[in-house]
Amino acid sequence: MDSHWVPPFNLDTAWLSSCNLGPQFPTWFRWQKSIRELEMSNTGLVSRIPDWFWETFSQATHLDLSSNQLSGELPFNLDFMSVVALSMQSNQLTGLIPKLPRTIELLDISRNSLDGFVPNFQAPHLEVAVLFSNSITGTIPTSICRLQKLRVLDLSNNMLSKELPDCGQKELKPQNQSSNNSTGVNSLSFFSLKITTLLLSNNSFSGGFPLFLQQCQNLSFLDLSQNKFTGELPRWISKSMPGLVILRLRSNNFFGQIPNEIMGLQDVCILDLSNNNFSGAIPPYMENLKALIGTAATDDYTPVDDPFAEDYSDKYGLADMGMSNDSLSVVIKGQVLEYTENALYLMSIDLSCNSLTGEIPVKLSALAGLINLNLSSNMLSGNIPYKIGNLRLLESLDLSKNILGGQIPWSLSNLTYLSRLNLSYNNLSGRIPSGNQLDILGTDDAAYMYIGNPGLCGHPVLRQCPGPPRDPPTNGEPTRLPEDGLSQIDFLLGSIIGFVAATWMVFFGLLFMKRWRYAYFGLLDKLYDRLYVISVVTWQKWFGPRV
């Protein structure tokens, strides 16, 4: 279109996604002031957003300019607009996140270069705020505590720091300033946030576990990984956030024992507490993690609500959303893999790189739906649970760099989906089990899975086991001595007992039976006389003088 062309129409809706409209912003849109929905994602725009854009489309409810190369700063104040859904993700925008329209419900400006919030950031109807992968510094504004309709907040991969607001009476005071003291206290006691998804990973947040999460009863997806949080985990996690599906706290400075109450998260599918300073034993009662027990092949399987189930893209008429493309990094199979919306089905427990002690809970074998289990780089002792073969869906098992002892359970050969196994650097001993998937794991360097266990023998390590190869036990019982070894011991022990018993029977018979003594010694005399005569005759026959 010619840059001076004035269109003879007034559009209500313009869906132009993936059309080549660039590189400059089409000027004929300046006359389309009646547009309510404008979609211009992935249209090859390489320019600044013109100043007239915001005034022209001030009455529009849906604006989508995502996946272009638009640059420049956003206006300081967008309060005059009527937009409900604004998506400008994957551009090159800079400056501050502006004062938003009071009507806005969805804001997606992820993957830009925005560096902060305007003062007094407010949006009373905001439900979804997707702001990941920017350069936002400073702290989260305390006004977030008053966004009581907010459901999704994604601030991951930014440069935010300091502590999170605790959303206490101090933060709520502006909202309740017209109320008397008693009313303020009552409103605070019933105050709660509706957040279902909170993503704050890869920032520099500090302080203890966020207190305002006590008011997030609907939270399903919590990711605080790769920050500087410290302190002990509170015991109210499972009580205040009973519907957690994903809990990621990896790469922080949390310490102390993992509270037993965390096993009350019946819906959790991904539990990642790795790379912290946790100590003490792994909490028991792992069978309470109901979502990790049921599988699609069992009758007790109950689907868990997907935290991404509410399709905001359809609700707000957007072709694409940054949140649906946001990734979740998981350490599995010895590498960091990126998962998107399918992460819910990963079914993972990662407690690696801590200082956990004690034994691996036996009830861990009840989690039949588990796909990834990583307990490496701790100080766990005892034996590997002999029923670990019950985890039939397990694809990755890492128990390396602990103090585990005893034999490797033969039930590991039951894990037919296993694609990575690492038992290195423990105190394991005995014959390495074989069969099924174990025979094809690590074909490049299979011995690496068992390195650092000098007591192990058999393929694939160089140390050979004594005796012929034995069949694995089929009864699923704990490791015990082989059956042929038991039969040899039984035979030797029985022979010794029989010899001693027979000797004492003869001795007591001769001691108390007079006729036995006479007969026995008379027999010895006759035998002696016969042997003497035979020996004398034989000697004379062979060595006597010849006539």
Annotate 52-115 with three-state secondary structure: HHHHHCCCCCEEECCCCCCEEECCCECCCCCCCEEECCCCEEEEEECECCCCCCEEECCCCEEE
Residue 137: CB atoms within 10 A of its CB come to 14
Tell me the C-alpha distance between 495 and 503, whole Å: 12
Q: Check whether 397 has a pLDDT greater than 90.
A: yes
Residue 385: CB atoms within 10 A of its CB come to 19
498 domain residue, yes or no: yes
| Residue 283 in tokens | 């909490």
What residue spans of 426-513 are helical by DSSP H?
483-512
pTM: 0.78
Tell me the C-alpha distance between 163 and 493, whole Å: 71
Question: If you count them, how many residues does the chain have?
Answer: 547
Question: Over the stretch 288-339, which tens digit does the pLDDT of each residue have?
Answer: 899 998 654 444 444 444 444 445 555 555 444 444 445 566 666 666 666 6
121 domain residue, yes or no: no
413 domain residue, yes or no: no
DSSP β-ladder status, 372-374 and 85-87: unpaired
Domain containing 511 equals 489-543
Question: Over the stretch 402-413, which tens digit does the pLDDT of each residue have?
Answer: 999 999 999 888
Tell me the C-alpha distance between 9 and 3, whole Å: 16
497 domain residue, yes or no: yes
- 3-state SS assignment for residue 339: strand
511 domain residue, yes or no: yes
pLDDT of residue 419: 87
Q: Across all residues in the chain, what is the average pLDDT?
A: 82
pLDDT of residue 35: 92
| Residue 503 in tokens | 């000797």
Q: Check whether 275 has a pLDDT greater than 90.
A: yes
Q: How much of the chain exceeds pLDDT 70, in percent?
A: 80
CA-to-CA separations, 366 to 105, 283, 357, 462, 475, in angstroms, rounded: 43, 14, 21, 34, 18
436 domain residue, yes or no: no
Q: Integer distance in angstroms from the first to the last C-alpha of the chain?
A: 148
Q: How much of the chain exceeds pLDDT 90, in percent?
A: 50
* Number of domains forming the structure of the chain: 1
Mention every residue, 6+ apart, whose C-beta is less than 8 A from residue 136: 97, 114, 115, 116, 117, 155, 158, 159, 160
Tell me the C-alpha distance between 287 and 265, whole Å: 11
- Preceding omega of 23 cis (within 30 degrees of 0): yes
539 domain residue, yes or no: yes
**Residue 217 exposed, middle or buried by CB count within 10 Å (0-12, 13-18, 19+):** middle
Q: What is the mean pLDDT of residues 463-490?
A: 57
243 domain residue, yes or no: no
More confident residue, 481 or 383: 383
- 3-state SS assignment for residue 189: helix
Tell me the C-alpha distance between 532 and 55, whole Å: 136
